[in-house]
C-alpha cells in the first residue's frame, strides 16, 4: 500500500516503526502485536527514518505509561468518552479494548484517518474524525454527558505555542469532567530537537515547549496536575524485570542525562484532572 504522507503526519510512521521494533524484541516493553502487521502493509522505506533501538524503547515506554493511565481511568469510569488526539496509526483502542460503555474518538488529519480506515477494522463504539485538532468544528460533535479522557501522545510539541493552551481550554470548557494525559517537551527540548534524526529526515520542527507541567495549571483554568514523570525518568514507570531487559547502554545514557541540569527536565509525561 503506497503511503503519501508529508509534514508532521509523516512522523507517525516513525512511532509505528518504533512499536513494531519493540514488539519484535525478545522482551518487549509495550508488545503492540498490531504494529508489525500494519507496518508490513505499507510501501515505505522505514530505514530512512533513522530509528534507533533506544528510540523505539523510548516510544514504547511512553505509550505503555499512557495506556496504564487510560486503563486506570476506564476502570473507575466504565461509561466514558475517550478522545485520542493526533492518533496517527496507533492501535491504542485495540490495546485498551474498552468495554461497551466507552465511546472512543480518534482525531487526526483527514489523510491519516483515510489511511487508518484501510488498515484497522471497524469496531462498536469507535469513530475516527478526520480534522486537525486545532480546527474548532470537530469538538461540537463530541457528546458532553459522560466523564472524558483526553490522550495525546507525541502531539503537543508540534502545535504552535500560541495554539496549544487555547486547545486545552476549549477541551476543558466543552467536556464536563475527566482527565488528560499527554507528553510535552521543554523549550530547551524544542530547541534541541533539530538534532533528532527522525525530525531532520522528515524536515519537521517542533514549536511548543512547556518547561514545567504546572505552568499549564496557570494557563488553562480548571486543569490540575495529578501525576507525571520527567521523560528521562520514565523507566521508573516500568517494573524491575522489564527495566532489567532494556539495553544497558540506554539505561546508562538516561542515568547520565538525568544528572545534567536542564536536560533532566527536557520532557514530561503528565496526567491532569479537570472539572
Is residue 242 situated within a structural domain?
yes
- Residue 206 C-alpha cell reads as 517542533
Query: Exposed, middle or buried, 233 (CB in 10 Å: 0-12/13-18/19+)?
Result: middle
pLDDT at 149: 98
Q: Look up the CATH number of the domain holding residue 195.
A: 3.40.50.150
Is residue 267 situated within a structural domain?
yes
pLDDT at 236: 85
Is residue 1 situated within a structural domain?
no
pLDDT beneath 70: ranges in the chain: 6, 258
Entry pTM: 0.94
Whether the Cβ atoms of residue 159 and residue 134 lie closer than 8 Å to each other: yes
Would you say the C-alpha torsion 167, 183, 200, 265 has a positive or negative sign?
A: positive
Q: 94-140 pLDDT, tens per residue? A: 999 999 999 999 999 999 999 999 999 999 999 999 999 999 899 99
Is residue 2 situated within a structural domain?
no
Is residue 193 situated within a structural domain?
yes
- What residue numbers bound the domain in which 246 lies? 7-274
pLDDT at 212: 96
Is residue 218 situated within a structural domain?
yes
Strand locations in 215-254 (E): 224-230
| CB atoms closer than 10 angstroms to residue 206 | 20
pLDDT at 112: 95
Number of folded domains that form the chain: 1
Amino acid at each position: 500500500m503506497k503511503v503519501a504522507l508529508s509534514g508532521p503526519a509523516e512522523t507517525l510512521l516513525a512511532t509505528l516503526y518504533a512499536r513494531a521494533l519493540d514488539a519484535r524484541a525478545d522482551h518487549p516493553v509495550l508488545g503492540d502485536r498490531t504494529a508489525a502487521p500494519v507496518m508490513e502493509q505499507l510501501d515505505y522505506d522505514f530505514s530512512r527514518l533513522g530509528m534507533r533501538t533506544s528510540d523505539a524503547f523510548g516510544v514504547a515506554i511512553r505509550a505503555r505509561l499512557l495506556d496504564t493511565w487510560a486503563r486506570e481511568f476506564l476502570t473507575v469510569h466504565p461509561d466514558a468518552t475517550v478522545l485520542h488526539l493526533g492518533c496517527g496509526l496507533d492501535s491504542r483502542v485495540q490495546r485498551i479494548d474498552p468495554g461497551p460503555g466507552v465511546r472512543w474518538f480518534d482525531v487526526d488529519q483527514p489523510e491519516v484517518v483515510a489511511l487508518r480506515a484501510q488498515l484497522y477494522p471497524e469496531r462498536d463504539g469507535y469513530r475516527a474524525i478526520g480534522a486537525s485538532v486545532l480546527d474548532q468544528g470537530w469538538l461540537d460533535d463530541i457528546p458532553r454527558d459522560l466523564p472524558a479522557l483526553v490522550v495525546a501522545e507525541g502531539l503537543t510539541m508540534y502545535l504552535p505555542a500560541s495554539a496549544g493552551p487555547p486547545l486545552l481550554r476549549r477541551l476543558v470548557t466543552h467536556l464536563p469532567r475527566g482527565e488528560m494525559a499527554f507528553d510535552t517537551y521543554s523549550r530547551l527540548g524544542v530547541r534541541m530537537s533539530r538534532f533528532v534524526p527522525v525530525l531532520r529526515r522528515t524536515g519537521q520542527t517542533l514549536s511548543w515547549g512547556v518547561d514545567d507541567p504546572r505552568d499549564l495549571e496557570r494557563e488553562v483554568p480548571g486543569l490540575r496536575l495529578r501525576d507525571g514523570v520527567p521523560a528521562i525518568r520514565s523507566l521508573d514507570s516500568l517494573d524491575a524485570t522489564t527495566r532489567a531487559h532494556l539495553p544497558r547502554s540506554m539505561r546508562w545514557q538516561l542515568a547520565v542525562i538525568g544528572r545534567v541540569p536542564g536536560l533532566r527536565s527536557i520532557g514530561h509525561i503528565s496526567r491532569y484532572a479537570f472539572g
